[in-house]
Amino acid sequence: MPTAGARMTALDLDDDEALVIFEFLSRYQESGQLTVAHPGEDRALANLLCLLEKQLVAPFGPDYDRALAEARQRLSAPE
Amino acid sequence: MPTAGARMTALDLDDDEALVIFEFLSRYQESGQLTVAHPGEDRALANLLCLLEKQLVAPFGPDYDRALAEARQRLSAPE
């Protein structure tokens, strides 16, 4: 699944966050609808954002828009 | 941020996935709207779900509904 050669971002979610985000994403995969079903989901998503902010360098660099566009493109390329 | 005493779920996102999910969650935090802005976001969210499926035990247990309810409750409790 990882893009070849890409650095990895290690995230330590606690099990509550992991389970609640799993359910959120499972619903999206099954229904095609993105919805928040419980305040605990909001908290889990906010915590995940906080973890990503701590790990990532790109969001605070001048090339954010380009880095984002390239990442989206690589992810959506046919395998 | 982690719930006291909770086990941790370690996730290795590649940097493309991490950046694209960061942008997805940032938009949600700023706008209150959950939207997918690019096919690469769909792929990143699907990859995150896949990682969580591999790590978690609870989704495949008989107590999933209870475990989910308890996790949501703990996450939404006042700090």
| CB of B63 less than 8 A from some CB of A | no
The mean per-residue pLDDT over the stretch A26-51 comes to: 96
Contact check, Cβ <8 Å, A10/B11: yes
What is the predicted pLDDT for the residue at B6? 65
- Cα pseudo-dihedral A75, A18, B6, A13, rounded to 10: 20
What is the predicted pLDDT for the residue at B61? 79
What is the predicted pLDDT for the residue at B25? 98
Summarised one tens digit per residue, pLDDT across range B43-64 is 999 999 999 998 887 677 789 9
ipTM for the whole complex:
0.88
Tell me which residues of chain B have a pLDDT lower than 70: 1-6, 58
Q: How far is CA A17 from CA A53, A79, B55, B74, in A?
A: 16, 30, 12, 10
For the cut 70, the answer to whether the pLDDT of residue A6 exceeds it is no
For the cut 50, the answer to whether the pLDDT of residue A40 exceeds it is yes
Nearest Cα residue to A72 out of B44, B34, B61, B1: B44
Contact check, Cβ <8 Å, A47/B1: yes
